[in-house]
Amino acid sequence: MLQPAEYRLGEAVFYIHRFPPFVAMKVLGDLQKIILPAIGAAAREAKGIDLDSPDDGIDALADMLGGALAALPQHVDGAGLENAARMLLNPEYIAVSTDGMKQPVRLTEDVAIVVFEGRVMDMFAVMAEVFKVNYMDFSKLSSVPIGTTQALGELKEKFLVQYQKILKA
């Protein structure tokens, strides 16, 4: 098993283990019901922005993410947010250590109450890091055969065209 990713937030250090493949698929499938409507709303707002352009890139992405966050309340209720938190902050895969702890402990609900007391935004930050560790690590793509990257790029372009058509409909 791989070493856990470490994420420091204030005095706490979170140890994030990747989800096993089948757990990762289930979590992603459930999360998409929460995330995609908000991203779709943000994408509608970001029409005509070229994320690959040096002029638009980071600023456009920031605007789009801001739009997604702004759209989130229209698409997700408290139960949905709690469900997402429970999926991503699964104590089987997340441990935490704070100044008061000598050894990391599983991030159970009781531990989360202590760690995140009055700091709900920190909870979102850890959730985002768990998502990043599980779904945004492209370091293993170096084993992809030559030509596959180009094919994936073309597939992405086709997907974006279809996605835009869906959004217009």
**What is the helix (H) or strand (E) element at residue 101, kind and residue range?**
none
Is the same domain home to 147 and 133?
Answer: no
Is the same domain home to 123 and 148?
Answer: no
* C-alpha span between 32 and 37 (Å, rounded): 8
How far does Cα 144 stand from its chain's mean position? 23
The sheet with strand 12-16 has its strands ordered as 5-9, 12-16, 94-97, 105-106
Whether residue 84 contacts residue 34, with contact meaning beta carbons closer than 8 Å, is answered with: yes
From the list 63, 23, 57, the residue with the least C-alpha distance to 42 is 63
Structural domain range at position 151: 142-169
Is the same domain home to 127 and 150?
Answer: no
Locus of tokens 């140890």: 15
Is the same domain home to 29 and 79?
Answer: yes
Is the same domain home to 89 and 68?
Answer: yes
Is the same domain home to 46 and 11?
Answer: yes
Locus of tokens 């985002």: 128
Is the same domain home to 100 and 123?
Answer: yes
143 pLDDT above the threshold of 60: no
- What pLDDT is attached to residue 163? 47
Between 121 and 1, name the one with better pLDDT: 121
Between 71 and 80, name the one with better pLDDT: 80
Whether residue 18 contacts residue 93, with contact meaning beta carbons closer than 8 Å, is answered with: yes
- What pLDDT is attached to residue 40? 64
Quote the pTM value.
0.65
* C-alpha span between 95 and 105 (Å, rounded): 5
